[in-house]
Structure 1
Amino acid sequence: MQLARKVIDKQTSALALPISKPESRLYMSFLSIAFISLFIGGLMGLLQVFVRTGKFTLPFGIDYYQVLTVHGVILGLVLTTYFIIGFHFSLMGKTVGISDKQRKIAWIAFWIMVIGTILTATMILLGEASVLYTFYAPLRAHPVFYIGLALVVVGSWIAGFVNWHQLAVWKKAHPGEKSPLLAFMVTINTILWFIASLGVAVAVLIQFIPWSLGFAETINVLVSRTLFWYFGHPLVYFWLLPAYMAWYAIIPKIIGGKLFSDSLARMSFVLFLFFSIPVGFHHQLTEPGIDPTWKFIQVVLTFMVVIPSLMTAFSMFATFEITGRRKGAKGLFGWLKKLPWKDVRFLAPFIGMVAFIPGGAGGIINASHQMNAVVHNTIWVTGHFHLTVATTVMLTFFGISYWLIPHLRGRKLTPKINRLGIIQAIVWAVGMSIMSGAMHIQGLLGGPRRSSYSEYAGGDQVTEWIGYQMAQAIGGTILFVGILLMVYIFIKLTFFAPKGEEEFPIAEEEENAEATPAYFENWKLWIGITVVLILAAYTIPFIDIIQHSPAGSVPFDFPIGR
């Protein structure tokens, strides 16, 4: 029986369906918005680092915080969400298929998100929503900004419902079989996104929209911030898990190897679901109004995420070593020479993996009670953010693009584009190392985040900070060159690369791997445990916050904008 189950496991892990042209248009629409966002958001980031040198003034009366808001929202929310949903759809279409009806609903999700994005972006560009990426109260934006955000979230939920229905249809047609690994991973990430985004949806619909419309005279700041970080931390894992999908199930195929363990990969994703949501208080360690005991509990839960992270590191380097030794590698580290360093589909994500080592170390500092007090609200946090999301996640997304875009467009990744991609990855790594490194150091010296140079010019520390601000400008300029290269490569792969067929790489599992236990398909169990953890971590402190919050804590007439 176990042997028969194992045969089924191998068959389903190797399943790959053709992607039709109507499907490709859908997936490419999401990816196209993502790369347009990359250019716009990157340009805003370049302007920011110039302003912080104190030697550049924004033209046309543009406010620094307007630029900062565009940068954070466009890159942190728009780019990532569109790319991830497009990637999710491509993985589901390839492994379990998509019907015409499902595709039509997916288009509805896309256009709802586009309308929401346009509304939000318009308000920011008009200077009516300079409230930064976190849109903290008592900063107040135009109601249309919040309505746009709500539409983006609703559209993403519809896309997630389509993904869940795709898997349900597949399982009905394949009773007793385990779901394809990539479909399982997409399902976990969409569950994480849906549960987490409920927090920001409640904050926007119940608090911010009535407040901004004048229907409510006050807003509870601590409640709004708590709801945001209930969403804000798992958002990081919503970004990260698609990169893990590529690391686990796609990179092994690219390097000529196999998936180390299907069961380990699934378990790591289940643990990420458990421990990524009920931990938002570690972003609020310096805030009054939250009992320190509950902060400590959530910090402990935060550190639990180290377990699936180490599982992933073990799995990836086991795959690298096994593959290298099969190719004849000798000695302790000889397998490193056998990895395809000249293949950008591998190199870009690998640089992202390496960046996650210092990024993860910085995350431990951010989530620690005493050490967080040193770096909280300094530009150290911005540097950490750029190491994790802007390096680990983005370089992996770029690596995915090199095979996904030509596969969807019926074109080839040519040796010339591959070489240009390697240059782009190196340029990105160099620019980010300079910029992020300077941010980390300036943060340790007390340099604030979210602030322009003009707000702290003239202080005793300005002379000490100015070198690091110039380094950020240099690194940011190099990064923008990397963005221009990536946008050029995207256009090249989409429209001008030679016609042909590019592989959609999905790795098969190792022959001697243990069969995947059937309990991984018990979605009620995984969702139930997640809900229990969330209720345990948030119910009592949230009731306490509401009971002890002063009535009318923020007046309605607080000025719109920053």
Structure 2
Amino acid sequence: MMNTVSKVNSRDGKLAMAHIYVAFIALFLGGFAGLLQTLVRSGEFTLPAGIGYYQLLTVHGVLLGLVLTTFFIIGFLFASLSKTAGTLSDKVRLSGWIGFWFMTVGTSMTATTILLGKASVLYTFYAPLMAHPAFYLGLTLVVVGSWISGFGMFSHFGKWKKANPGAVTPLLAFMAVITMILWLVATLGVAAAVLIQFLPWSLGLVETIDVLISRTLFWYFGHPLVYFWLLPAYMAWYVVIPKVIGAKIFSDALARLSFVLFLLFSIPVGFHHQLTEPGIDPAWKFLQVVLTFMVIIPSLMTAFSMFATFEMYGRSKGATGLFGWFRKLPWGDARFFAPFMGMLIFIPAGAGGVINASHQMNQVVHNTIWVTGHFHLTVATTVLLTFFGIAYWLIPHITGRVLTKAMNKLAIVQTIVWVVGMAFMSTAMHFAGLLGAPRRSSFSTYGDSAQAAEWIPYQIAQAIGGSILFIGIILVLVIVINLAFFAPKGETEFPVGEVADTAERTPMILENWKVWVGVLVALILIAYTIPFIDMIQNAPPGSKGFNNLL
């Protein structure tokens, strides 16, 4: 592992922290909206001041699923590139700030329209729900801003490669670039849907919209979005956690290969979110389901690599027996404990994902609150706990402070609170989903049916879990504010692991971007070209929005 600098440059750190501040503000606001949602669904709470349930649902989904994740990830990626590939140039840093302000202005526009009741269109903004044009324009600014930042990252990475011809690129920088390539390719779908369909429609330039195409474009983006959330967490698992616990990276080549496979198999799979929709040939759905299951391979590779690292560390500390190494792990270090709990919870989360993507089993849980429970295990637990673990060392590293023993203990408590709260809420969502409880619905829509009565205990459990989780949000905000402004001054390491001496040499084919991007483009064209032509040629009468603009 090659480290160009020992500390993130202060100006680069300010850019990263600007993103992280917005992310945690979004966590508070989105989390509060989520708390109110669970209270409403319990049937014991009525929203005041004419606030609509679907306003809250939209705020919760957009702020946590898009704003929190995107801002935190881009901030983390800039810091990682500055650490491992050298200080950002003035031009790259400027592109980062331009991207940040585009995203921030766009977020403000979308949030304002939602809070004014002009965009209660949920996180997926499915047609025929229509939002105010400012909502779609704001989304466009967020996407374009992220592209500007991404191109700056590519430029910085390319500069390192030119300065180090023939050398294996720093692993953390390689992973950052893969993550942004995935994001840029995926967001082409949502950008096309917003600019070509939704924005002209909401402005009254066209009368109708092709719903199937809009949903297909959304899910072309919506599924790889999950891996945009996950890959930065995997960056921390592969590269940071070994250093935190005092171990070494099991295999540099295995880590790179897993990221390449995630890039290839996470994008051309959106149809598995549309298995119940007419208008898409079942053969193409089946192809994308197969590609979806291919993602299991790099997931298992990651699990193998991580637990191999843990076992090697435990053995080096004298552990014996099959699981003796487990006791040797640093359970009192929040930088390890929070991400590790995320790893464990990803096991049932992944199993739920297999069910969601299966032709037959999907029929049981489709459009039920089971799916919401699955998202809360993946992004709201696995990803967020890892992000919290990153924040516990990244923020003090940038601000020149230290994580004190008191804050470390509070972070351990926060992790436990989060896991307990999510155990209540996500478990209840899964069981209610198996009983047929719909997703996206408020208590008032259930009626007095006997079936709805079965769901009430689970709605109450969700409210209990949501309340515990909001306590967890308050705790992590206390820690973040302390680390940013009040913790004692000092030096905190940016932990970047070294590769084990016994690891195989990294093959340079993994550094051949033309090959992997070319394969990605080919897979996308195979998976989507013919289905899209079929959708356009066989669009229902009056579907003007997309087709009239072709």
**Aligned residue identity for 2:111:** A
Partner of 1:39: 28
**Aligned residue identity for 1:526:** W
- Among all aligned residue pairs of Structure 1 and Structure 2, give the percentage whose two residues are the same amino acid: 69
Partner of 1:301: 291
Please report how far the alpha carbon of residue 551 of structure 1 lies from its aligned counterpart in structure 2 after TM superposition.
2.5
Partner of 1:390: 380
Partner of 1:560: none
Counterpart CA distance in 2 for 1:114 and 1:168 is 27
SS across alignment from 2:309: helix
SS across alignment from 2:391: helix
Report how many aligned residue pairs link the two structures.
Answer: 545
Please report how far the alpha carbon of residue 190 of structure 1 lies from its aligned counterpart in structure 2 after TM superposition.
0.5
Partner of 1:180: 170
Please report how far the alpha carbon of residue 462 of structure 1 lies from its aligned counterpart in structure 2 after TM superposition.
2.2
Counterpart CA distance in 2 for 1:391 and 1:275 is 23
Counterpart CA distance in 2 for 1:68 and 1:277 is 26
Please report how far the alpha carbon of residue 20 of structure 1 lies from its aligned counterpart in structure 2 after TM superposition.
2.2
Partner of 2:320: 330
Partner of 1:319: 309
**Aligned residue identity for 2:284:** W
Please report how far the alpha carbon of residue 18 of structure 1 lies from its aligned counterpart in structure 2 after TM superposition.
2.6
For residues 351-395 of structure 1, what are the alpha-carbon distances to aligned partners after superposition, in whole Å with 9 as ceiling and x for unaligned?
000000000000000000111011000000000000011000000
Counterpart CA distance in 2 for 1:552 and 1:346 is 56
Partner of 1:492: 482
SS across alignment from 1:61: coil
SS across alignment from 2:249: coil
Please report how far the alpha carbon of residue 554 of structure 1 lies from its aligned counterpart in structure 2 after TM superposition.
8.4
Partner of 1:4: none
Q: Work out whether 1:415 is the aligned partner of 2:398.
A: no
Conserved 8 A contact 2:197-2:545: no
Equivalence map 1:338-349=2 (5 Å): 338-349=328-339
For residues 302-353 of structure 1, what are the alpha-carbon distances to aligned partners after superposition, in whole Å with 9 as ceiling and x for unaligned?
0000000000000000000001100111111110111000000000000000
Partner of 2:11: 22
Partner of 2:254: 264
Q: Work out whether 1:523 is the aligned partner of 2:523.
A: no
Gaps of 5+ in 1: 1-9, 557-562
Q: So what's the TM-score if we normalise by structure 1?
A: 0.96
Q: Work out whether 1:428 is the aligned partner of 2:397.
A: no
Conserved 8 A contact 2:425-2:465: yes
Counterpart CA distance in 2 for 1:160 and 1:32 is 19
Gaps of 5+ in 2: none
Conserved 8 A contact 1:366-1:376: yes
Partner of 1:79: 68
Q: Work out whether 1:191 is the aligned partner of 2:167.
A: no
Q: Work out whether 1:164 is the aligned partner of 2:154.
A: yes
Counterpart CA distance in 1 for 2:10 and 2:224 is 34
SS across alignment from 2:49: helix
Partner of 2:495: 505
Deviates more, 1:95-104 or 1:286-295: 95-104
Conserved 8 A contact 1:262-1:516: yes
Counterpart CA distance in 1 for 2:388 and 2:434 is 31
Q: So what's the TM-score if we normalise by structure 2?
A: 0.98
Equivalence map 1:71-110=2 (5 Å): 71-97=60-86, 98-110=88-100
Counterpart CA distance in 2 for 1:201 and 1:163 is 20
For residues 194-222 of structure 1, what are the alpha-carbon distances to aligned partners after superposition, in whole Å with 9 as ceiling and x for unaligned?
00000000000000000000001110000
**Aligned residue identity for 2:432:** Q
Counterpart CA distance in 1 for 2:533 and 2:12 is 46
Please report how far the alpha carbon of residue 17 of structure 1 lies from its aligned counterpart in structure 2 after TM superposition.
4.2
Partner of 2:124: 134
Deviates more, 1:545-554 or 1:515-524: 545-554
Partner of 1:61: 50
Counterpart CA distance in 2 for 1:523 and 1:421 is 39
For residues 135-182 of structure 1, what are the alpha-carbon distances to aligned partners after superposition, in whole Å with 9 as ceiling and x for unaligned?
000000000000000000000001100110011011111111111001
Conserved 8 A contact 2:9-2:82: no
**Misfit runs of 4+, over 3 Å:** 14-17, 553-556
Please report how far the alpha carbon of residue 54 of structure 1 lies from its aligned counterpart in structure 2 after TM superposition.
1.3
Counterpart CA distance in 1 for 2:406 and 2:325 is 27
Conserved 8 A contact 1:17-1:96: no
SS across alignment from 1:163: helix
Partner of 2:370: 380
Q: Work out whether 1:213 is the aligned partner of 2:192.
A: no
Counterpart CA distance in 1 for 2:539 and 2:445 is 31
Equivalence map 1:330-369=2 (5 Å): 330-369=320-359
Conserved 8 A contact 1:407-1:503: yes
Q: 2:438 aligns with which of 438, 448, 451?
A: 448
**Aligned residue identity for 2:29:** I
SS across alignment from 2:307: helix
Conserved 8 A contact 1:17-1:93: no
Q: 2:470 aligns with which of 470, 474, 480?
A: 480
RMSD of aligned Cα (Å): 1.1
SS across alignment from 1:186: helix
Q: Work out whether 1:246 is the aligned partner of 2:236.
A: yes
For residues 489-526 of structure 1, what are the alpha-carbon distances to aligned partners after superposition, in whole Å with 9 as ceiling and x for unaligned?
11011000000000100000001211111111110000
Q: Work out whether 1:235 is the aligned partner of 2:199.
A: no
